[in-house]
A and B are shown apart, each in its own frame.
Chain A
């Protein structure tokens, strides 16, 4: 019974992540790639994303504080973050990066700073939510989860 509850929690949690716009279909695509040869592929890729994106956010922050402003460089860094976010299905982060890029294009420094703060919040929230999600998955086991997630 405990096992069924866990599975229900996982499905519910995932549905929320999608309904609230944190994730998009790309996340499902990656999850579907998991098999016996790569059972923890998704968690591995997500961990890699958070490691890489933390580095990028630090670089973006430094670039934002730099004077004179190099909006081209800033845009390039944000593009990298947008790209890797998109690759794991991090929809909200991807969208905020688009707003950031628009601010770079307009050479709107204040807009860039606001976008950065928002992206950092989204980043922290997504990280926390996905950590909880994978923690539950580990309790259930990847093979069984793969069946339940397609409902």
Chain B
């Protein structure tokens, strides 16, 4: 049996970046995930405001039913991880990160921030606010593994509910080929 899908909410105001990330995540499963690698199910929105609306909607869906029906569309289920750009108009990725952490759930959704600017203060700020990781754009295929780890979604053979915040990881590697 394959691994359970990792449901990623991608938030980026750039249509190019949304598309690139979406296809990267799909390709990571098909290309090199290995037998137990979790596929990604990607939902992409272009603003922090839409991200919060979607997260609120999914949360209401979960609370209104005692348990999700077996046949529930994966697109309607909860989000496992949010991957957000930092620089966005109106609501930045940092604002979105704080808003998600303020939702006050016992199992806060992990948030990974991405940015094209390698600014130590920005990175530090996000990690202090509770981001699981900070990835430099443009995203590479190797960055996908970090996302998978941050999501906490385990293969079906070891179903563990993600409860505790994962250790903070600050990596500023530049992958070279």
Contact = CB atoms under 8 A, between A and B. Distances in A.
Interface of A: 25-26, 28-30, 32-33, 35, 37-38, 41, 44-45, 48-49, 52, 76, 79-80, 82-84, 86-89
Contact of A45 (B16, B176, B177): B16
Contacts of A52: 14-16
A28 B89 CA distance: 30
Contacts, number: 64
Given A35-B27, A49-B16, A87-B16, A82 B116 contact: yes
Given A29-B140, A33-B27, A86-B116, 11 more contacts: A25-B177, A29-B177, A33-B141, A48-B16, A48-B19, A52-B16, A79-B87, A79-B116, A83-B17, A86-B137, A87-B137
Interface of B: 13-17, 19-20, 23-24, 26-27, 30-31, 87, 89, 116, 137-138, 140-141, 176-177
A32 B30 CA distance: 12
B24 A33 contact: yes
A84 B26 contact: no
A26 to B, nearest CB: 5
Contacts of A88: 16, 20
A129 to B, nearest CB: 18
A48 to B, nearest CB: 5
Contacts of B23: 33, 38, 41, 45
